[in-house]
Chain A
Amino acid sequence: MGDAKSPLVAVKLMKVAVVQFPGSNCDDDARHVIEGVLGAKTVMIWHLEDDLQGADALILPGGFSYGDYLRSGAMAAQSPIMAAVKAFAKRGGPVLGICNGFQILTETGLLPGQLARNPVLHFLCQPVYLRVERSDTIFSSAYDRSQVLNIPIAHNEGSYYADQDTLNKLEAQGQVVFRYCSATGVVDAESNPNGSLNNIAGIINEAGNVLGMMPHPERAAEALLGSEDGLPLFRSLLNWAKSGSGVLV
């Protein structure tokens, strides 16, 4: 295993923190990809802590933080660790929010917009296709632009919404990184599983270091599980961290 294009040794030096909220349930899946598949180091950080333990990158994993009883991600956004997460993001540190992690990022204000309930009014766990809109971000450099990815979704509230001004700004600044599309890469209503505006599946902040996405790349990172299309996302992140092209802390 490891990355053919980059020296494994360097990747192994990277440390990715996975933040655990009570109710997170994809935390171990994220750890497995970073450690078990890519051979880098992870550290699990409990939400009550305030120190990121020298991590090079952060993952806010999927799940149902605090049971999502109030509004998805709303409680987690108030967790003690989030002050450190915000500071880390402000310094340019890479933060990846997957599913519930995306919801937490919008609730925290690190990303614009909101995730509303699926129009079908129930949970949806299914494979979807994503079109890579940007391959020049720290999360997507290992992809080609317009590449079509097969990555599953699993959520109840994944319908991306933002007001028209925000949406215009997102589009104008190229902040949409992934869009739901057909198997051949056509972005249309039919290939939009959850009514997200502009078929938005993942967006990045203006500074380019905070990415939120509803699909689960960690579930598509091994051939045995049916798709490896999510793996380059984690590779992109580790490569960036390895190159030291920003940092931080």
Chain B
Amino acid sequence: MTVKKSLKDQAARFGLTNEEFDQVVLAMGREPNALEAGMFGALWSEHCGYKNSRPLLRRLPTTGPQVLQGPGENAGVVDIGDGYAVAFKMESHNHPSAVEPVQGAATGVGGILRDIFAMGARPVAVLDSLRFGPLDQGAAGDRSRYLLNGVVHGISHYGNAIGVPTVGGEIVFHPCYQENPLVNVMALGYLKHEQLQSGTVGELGNKLVYVGSRTGRDGLGGAVFASAALSENSDADRPAVQVGDPFMEKLLLEACLDAIAQDVVIGVQDMGAAGLTSSIAEMAYRAGKGIDIFIDRVPRREKGMTPLELMLSESQERMVLTVSLEQEQKLLELLSKWELDAVVIGEVAEHGNFRIFENGVLVGDMPVAALNEAPTYTRAGIEDKAIKAAREQPLDLPLPEDFEAVLLTLLSSPTIASKRPVFVQYDHQVMTNTVVLPGQADAAVLRVKGTDKGVAATTDCNPRYCYLDPYEGAKIAVAEAARNVACVGARPLAITDNLNFGNPTRTDVYYQLEQAIEGIKDACLALDTPVTGGNVSLYNQYQAGAELKAIHPTPTIGMVGLLPDIGKRATQGFKRRDDVIFLLGENTAELGASEYLASWHRLEAGQPPRLDLAREKAVQDAVIELIAQGLCDTAHDCSEGGLAVALAEMALSGKKGASIKLMSDIRPDALVFGEAQSRVLIALKAEQVTAALKVLDAAEIPYAELGVVAGNALAIRLEPQNIMLNLSLEQLSSAYERPLAEAIA
């Protein structure tokens, strides 16, 4: 393996800097050949190696009695009691979806599902957190609609066919995502504790089995592609986008779970970004073992593929299974029952290296540890001056003359508007576990068959808050996700995070990343929701004239919660006329970073609402307690658009109006449209008010009676300003349902 000529001048081609190339030489004790340089480049990319984010991610809390598996495996796992557990994780497929939305999104679903069943869990739900540019008229809006329709089609195509319900998520529209949309997919799976798997090669003598699709040139260099900025040339990257086959994945899913149930596998690993390279390097690293791979045995669908192409291909629907010598034959027979291609491609070795043989010739030999230990970088972040100025800008706003018009405008803001035209395209009921359907509540609720338990799941992030104040914004994202889960009656358990940011080598972006991670950390500690895993997507940026701009910082939070008794739960829709409506928490005069400011005043400025974590926890605990005691079955959190939008959503979901009176000195637009945190609206049967108030008093949180469920209109009277909003359900519905219905082809 002599290397005639140094590849250092081509380091960039492999995704390495010159300094990193030198570090590779140091780790190997010699110059790498092209195969080795390519594998280091992939594993040391941001996508696989987390080189800019790892030191920051170490600050996050990752442990707790509920955590069975924290970060470092294919997915996190939390205990839900009685021997049951939930595996869950979120991952991005942003760059592929920008280039080829249908397949980009479809393979995003496929990839995250493999992470779940690699843990030994049966996938039971998918949620999607999607972000696009505005749906305006004209070319920009055309691109948004094209991406939206493509991504929705991709998710629907893959998720429906494989038979895992898509039960929730969010869709946010903002100009910063015009060129660089975000597609973050979260999946959950159920398992029994004893079924928990690890992506490991185990002991010496074990064999590695390749199973699933054949390897082609698709997705070649995807990890490097995902870690680079999108450019005008990105369309030329189309071959780096993989093509998904949900039918193959369904077979793979059933086969893997079958093999786990029959106890014939020792390790299970998805082949995700950087394909064979990362999956096998990670498995070997976890076991502290070396590995010999016989690359000529890899099933392929194209002729003339080089070892580097085979090692880096991101062809979809492939897994690596570890099996003992004794069980090898049994495993291969089981896989062939599922009509899958399976072949032994390697074995565990004592030497501690990742060795690759091609037709008996050693073509690559790298230390497993060095491959997995990408260099890390810490930087000093500095806040962008213009953003600081926007935050500190005094908001000298005229009061709107027509509050009804404001409410209708907010309801038809695509971010707030009904997502029904999207979720009818997703099979959200297959597997017959979905108890709270999309659009019915702040979080989806799934039952766990054979128990009384329910699992709640949601995703959340307000990029406007995170842009104007990344610390507070990320803190709110965690708190709101937890609040969403609490509003169905579930106790928040843990989060997965998907950190979507710009180029981390820029000081302003690094500042955002660091601040956001600090915000997540503080909220997770206060709410007792550790981080069990996630994904980092950097270099999300776009050309704006001469300037390269970062997307708004978007730390998407995926939250999982537990309902001990699924019979006691809440949804957002009003249930009965004459129910009494209460607000838990406090109204404030805050208007900064609100949807009202953006949609009505065309302003993105001001200080995002403050969040007191102790108050937040107290409000959530009170809501959970009310629901658990059977005192409340209607709850909805106040978020974008404030009180008025939250009430309108409760009215629309329940097809019942409400009569509301608000008494306050707060300026009226802040009162009804402001986004003060830690507020939840509930509706109670009149006869349960006394008992419910006892719970609220004991919780020592502020609350106020607002009115009753009544009629077929939402009537809100503001005193002492004597402002009246009175809109029929039809008026509300038409504003709320129209925007996405028009955008969906």
Contact = CB atoms under 8 A, between A and B. Distances in A.
Nearest to B436: A226
A224 B566 contact: yes
Interface in A56-97: 62-64, 66-69
Nearest to B432: A29
A219 interface: yes
Contacts of A156: 160
Interface string A23-58: 101101100110010000000000000000000000
B92 to A, nearest CB: 24
Contacts of A62: 430
B156 interface: yes
A122 interface: yes
Contacts of B377: none
Given A22-B250, A23-B250, A123-B156, A67 B161 contact: yes
A249 B248 CA distance: 35
B299 interface: no
A186 interface: no
Contacts of B745: 121
Given A123-B427, A224-B435, 10 more contacts: A23-B250, A29-B430, A33-B432, A67-B248, A122-B153, A123-B156, A125-B426, A219-B430, A222-B432, A226-B435
A21 B42 CA distance: 38
Contacts of B430: 25-26, 29, 62, 154, 219
B5 interface: no
A23 B247 contact: yes
A64 B435 contact: no
A123 B247 contact: no
A32 B432 contact: yes
Interface of B: 153, 156, 160-163, 245-248, 250-251, 338-339, 423-432, 434-435, 437, 447, 449, 566-567, 745
Given A154-B429, A219-B432, A124 B424 contact: yes
Contacts of B338: 22
Interface in A111-127: 121-126
Nearest to A25: B163
Interface of A is mostly: mixed
A216 interface: yes
Interface in A187-219: 216, 218-219
A121 B156 CA distance: 12
A123 B160 contact: yes
A74 B265 CA distance: 35
Contact of B250 (A25, A33, A69): A25
Contacts of A101: none
B161 A23 contact: yes
Shortest 4 CB-CB contacts between residues of A and residues of B: A25-B163, A67-B247, A64-B161, A29-B432
Interface string A224-244: 111000000000000000000
Contacts of B437: 226
24 contacts: A22-B339, A23-B251, A25-B161, A25-B162, A25-B430, A33-B432, A36-B449, A64-B160, A64-B162, A64-B163, A66-B247, A68-B161, A69-B247, A121-B745, A122-B425, A124-B425, A125-B423, A125-B424, A125-B425, A125-B429, A126-B424, A154-B429, A216-B429, A225-B429
Interface residues of A, number: 33
Contacts of B245: 67
Nearest to B161: A64
Nearest to A193: B424
B431 A224 contact: no
Contacts of A218: 432
A158 interface: no
Interface of A: 22-23, 25-26, 28-29, 32-33, 36, 62-64, 66-69, 121-126, 152, 154, 156, 216, 218-219, 221-222, 224-226
Contacts of A226: 435, 437
A122 B156 CA distance: 9
Contacts of B250: 22-23, 25, 64
Contacts of B432: 29, 32-33, 218-219, 221-222, 225
A29 B161 contact: no
A87 B156 CA distance: 36
A221 to B, nearest CB: 8
B425 A225 contact: no
A123 B435 CA distance: 21
**Which of A63, A125, A216 has most chain B Cβ within 10 Å?**
A125
A124 B424 CA distance: 5
A53 B160 CA distance: 30
A96 B111 CA distance: 34
A224 B425 contact: no
B247 A64 contact: yes
Given A32-B449, A67-B247, A124-B424, A225 B163 contact: no
Contact of A125 (B163, B427, B435, B566): B427
A3 B127 CA distance: 37
Contact of B160 (A22, A154, A216): A154
A32 B431 CA distance: 9
A84 to B, nearest CB: 19
Contacts of A225: 429, 432, 434-435
Nearest to B438: A125
A225 B250 CA distance: 25
B454 to A, nearest CB: 9
A68 B432 CA distance: 22
Nearest to B567: A224
B563 to A, nearest CB: 12
Of B423, B424, B447, chain A has the most CB atoms within 10 Å of the CB of B424
